[in-house]
Amino acid sequence: MSKIAEVKTHPVSIPLKQTLWTAHEELKDSSVILVEVRTDDGITGVGQIHGSPQKTICEWVARLAEVIRGMDATATVAAWEKMFSLTSPRPGGMGGRDGLPPPLSRSARPQIMAAIAGIDIALWDIRGKAAAMPVYRLLGAEKRPIFTYATGGYYQLGAPDKVYADELASFVKAGFRAVKLKTGGGTAAEEAKRVAEVRAAIGKDTLLMLDMNAPYDIDECIAFARAVGPLDIFWLEEPLHWYLQPADFVRLAHATPIPLAHGERELTRFTVRDFIAQGAIRYVQFDSTRYAGFTEALRVAQLAEQHGVMIAPHTVPELHAHLVTAFPRCGFGVESHGDAARDPVSFGLYRERAQVRASHVHLNDRPGFGVEIDWDFVRKHAA
């Protein structure tokens, strides 16, 4: 049995050449935290975390590592449940009388769930390596190309709409059959004009998703959906303000034929469950590298399949393609970034990974998640 012996974090960050915006936040860098887990018999697994602040998340990884040290590294569910149990009260928890840390801070839940994510993904990588097979084979899947789309159109303050149209058209020229545009930064009329210019540039046969980053209330979003409806929009992603709930998404879903997508900002399967079960969304985008890890993403995917909802995990295609391939009935695809200038870390992080060609992710046969990290790159860009 391989036992967890050591856990290390490697925060990486590269400043962007130009500050970009979503409708919600300013983006000045491209970053990731690598979580390296070593076993007592020499197996190393690597996980990823996309979250902030990096220093705080790394501190939580170190604290959680002490809790699971010595556990079976291939017992992913047992390790996950032990870490997650620390987020709630328990008998003997006050003052750590049971030998474990006292219940963890409610205010730090996003960072704690991110820390769990990185460790859990690394343990899945170990699980595949210990079995000498890719993760998708552990899940009983066969290797097949997984559809992927390219995200772009991040706001550049003062830039004309043609800038975004040209950018997404370049993704199509590079072979992507679907693209996603950042929207929601202006009024419904302004955004509809911007979307129309992008649609004209990419042609009628390319799928066009809109990534909105929670800009509107229900009535505003209905007006926006009606304005862009003639442009053949594939989905509206995160269309409503952060505090609006599944019932509000259901109201929006009834008011527009454009499918809704959501899930990347949800911490666990328990809140995602209500979006799925209530018919609020058609595509679920749970991101295992942000919160809770691959173990929880697998549970979300199983729930989605039971309710006829498609899975379309957010970012990191070389990891999430393993999940999608295991769900041929409900696996829509994964997200890629079309431009290295937007995400230089993901484009420089690997010596080996799954390849993106002709709008599909092609997994390899290497054990675990099939990636080899360029550690020279990691050291060069250490945060």
Three-state secondary structure string covering 157-173: CCCCHHHHHHHHHHHHH
The pair of structure tokens assigned to 212 is 């909105």
**Domain range annotation of the chain:** 4-132, 138-374
The pair of structure tokens assigned to 159 is 């830039």
Average pLDDT over residues 286-310: 98
Task: Give the residue from 113, 117, 127 showing the smallest Cα distance to 72.
Answer: 127
Average pLDDT over residues 31-54: 97
Topology match between the domains 4-132 and 138-374: no
pLDDT at 256: 97
Average pLDDT over residues 196-209: 98
What phi, psi does 118 have (nearest 5°)? Answer: -65, -40
pLDDT at 380: 97
The domain 4-132 is placed in CATH, from the list 3.40.1710.10, 3.30.390.10, 3.40.50.300, 1.10.10.10, at 3.30.390.10
Average pLDDT over residues 275-298: 97
> What percent of the chain lies above the pLDDT cut of 70?
100
**Which amino acid is it at 339?**
D
**Which amino acid is it at 319?**
L
pLDDT exceeds 90 at position 92: no
The pair of structure tokens assigned to 66 is 């002490």
The pair of structure tokens assigned to 206 is 């390319």
How much of the chain is helix, strand and coil, in % rounded to 5? 40, 25, 35
| Beta carbons within 8 Å of 197's beta carbon, 6+ residues apart | 161, 162, 164, 165
- pLDDT tens digits, 319-370: 999 999 999 999 999 999 888 888 999 999 999 999 999 999 999 999 999 9
pLDDT exceeds 90 at position 212: yes
CATH topology of domain 138-374: TIM Barrel (3.20.20)
| Beta carbons within 8 Å of 220's beta carbon, 6+ residues apart | 188
